[in-house]
Amino acid sequence: MASLATLEPESGNPYVSIITVATDTDGSPLFLISTLAWHTRNLQADPRASILCAETHRTGDPLALGRISLMGTAERIGTALARARFLAKHPEASDYAGFADFSLWRLRVEKAHYVGGFGRIVTLSGDRLIRSATDVEAWTAGVEGALAEANASHGALIREAARRAEGGEGDWSLAACDSDGCDLVSAGRSLRISFAAPILRVEDIPAALEAAAFRPG
């Protein structure tokens, strides 16, 4: 879950709403929204937007938790891969993703502002976070086959990686994967596994999963 800030066309005032977010292959945020919602109307008039993602799982002072604001321009995206990646992260959205008023959008990140707690602040340009077109093209060309091969040949490894990530028991399978991690699904549940280090070749997915499944701690 994340917060989406858009601009009202009549007043220019900022409007903030709640969305669910996944990432495109290059790391750009993806979100599914309805034309009935104010934020969609706002984006159609002015595509400038910001998405805030924040930690919520720890107790104590919320201002001590990490959060990042992603600023840029929103655009509709209709590729099958982006849709598959979003639904891999949010399988519950498949109940309404096909409705005529819903469409998938992507934020083209121009700047990011990260706060990791008191005194831990950094601002980055979008190209520091988003992968290059060359890397994305090479990844996209091979990832579908790599996922099919991993699900067919490395089922036990995938289940162990899910168990170690507190996903619990289940018939887990890979639904999507990028350089930073994989999205797993099992009976309507979804789980994100982050790699210890980014990978650039789809051939390295099994090794990255093995490292995640058997990392110490």
pLDDT tens per residue, range 136-165: 888 989 999 999 999 999 999 999 999 888
Can you tell me the mean pLDDT for 62-89? 92
CA distance 130 to 128: 6
The DSSP code for 169 is S
To the nearest whole percent, how much of the chain has pLDDT over 70? Answer: 99
Categorize the per-residue pLDDT at 67 as very low, low, confident or very high, splitting at 50, 70 and 90: very high
Average pLDDT along the chain: 92
Categorize the per-residue pLDDT at 86 as very low, low, confident or very high, splitting at 50, 70 and 90: very high
To the nearest whole percent, how much of the chain has pLDDT over 90? Answer: 64
- Output 119 or 31, whichever has higher pLDDT: 31
pLDDT at 57: 72
Does pLDDT of 217 surpass 70? Answer: no
146 backbone dihedrals φ, ψ, rounded to 5°: -65, -40
Q: Are 50 and 125 in contact (CB under 8 A)?
A: no
Q: Are 17 and 37 in contact (CB under 8 A)?
A: yes
Domain 134-213 of CATH type 2.60.40.420? no
HSE-CB for 208 with a 13 A CA cutoff: 23
Residues with Cβ within 8 Å of 166's Cβ and at least 6 positions away in sequence, in order, are none
Can you tell me the mean pLDDT for 47-75? 90
For 86-179, strand residue ranges (E) read 102-115, 121-125, 173-178
Of the segments 28-42, 76-90, 120-134, 168-182, which one has the largest average pLDDT value?
28-42
CA distance 176 to 181: 9
Does pLDDT of 216 surpass 80? Answer: no
CA distance 105 to 103: 7
Categorize the per-residue pLDDT at 121 as very low, low, confident or very high, splitting at 50, 70 and 90: very high
- Output 120 or 30, whichever has higher pLDDT: 30
Q: Are 81 and 25 in contact (CB under 8 A)?
A: yes
Can you tell me the mean pLDDT for 11-23? 97
Question: So where are the chain's domains?
Answer: 2-130, 134-213
Superfamily holding 2-130: Electron Transport, Fmn-binding Protein; Chain A (2.30.110.10)
